[in-house]
Amino acid sequence: KTDVGIIVLKPEAAGTEVGIVINTGSQLEVIGASRIEAALRRLNLKPVVVNKSQATGQEQITLNIVDSDPEIKREGFKISNGGGKLTVTAIDNPGAFYGLSDLAEQIDMQKGLGTVPEKVENARFAFRAIKFNIPWSSYRKGATMTVNEKTVKDIKFWEAFLDMMGESRLNVLTLWYLHPWPYMIRPTNFPKATPFTDAQLAAWKVYWSTLFRLAKNRDR
């Protein structure tokens, strides 16, 4: 299978339209493309995202997700520059996301599209995690824990945090606190083990379901 994502090189005059063709059904590709969009706008270029099924074939930067490539490992990617075209190749969705993100960084650093260097990048470690201490039901008490409760309950915080993890090539989010289950379920045999009303527990369920979905969409 092959997913294709494309950006136009050519004259980089202000207002030049840059097509970005991706599989818009892939959350990781959409997020990766959004970083390229931002980089292009900083160059006063005009990015246009198009689903791969509507690609014209005239675009000049391509993202390929292929079944295998001898140079690329899991979550790795390759950027090639030849024949007036840039190609990002990966063997999985995380690698495609990292490749798109790296391309956005290169566009920023090169202040343009045509001088983006070729490279192959593979992860040295398969497990690259963050240990995140949740402030409620924490292993110790005090202001240093409770001061951040409101922030950690804000889903917008998690969106930004998970995106930061992607930018930093961190692929596992681990959450640490003493008693997670009372915040997620009410045990049938021990209902009083969960100290929340039905309404409170329902609110927690929305919170956790949303956070886990955000993490899954970003392959964390």
Q: The pTM is what?
A: 0.83
Angstrom CA distances, 160 to 15, 148, 155, 165, 211, stand at 29, 15, 9, 9, 12
Cα 150 versus chain centre, distance:
24
What does the pLDDT look like over 83-110, one tens digit per residue? 667 889 999 999 999 999 999 999 899 9
Residue 184 CA to residue 103 CA, distance in Å, equals 39
Report the Cα–Cα distance between both ends of the chain, in Å, rounded: 23
pLDDT digits (tens, 9 = 90+) for 140-180: 888 888 899 999 999 999 999 999 999 899 999 999 999 89
Q: What is the pLDDT of residue 10?
A: 47
* 3 state DSSP class of 102: helix
Per-residue pLDDT of 30-68, as tens digits, reads 999 899 899 989 999 898 888 888 888 777 778 889 999
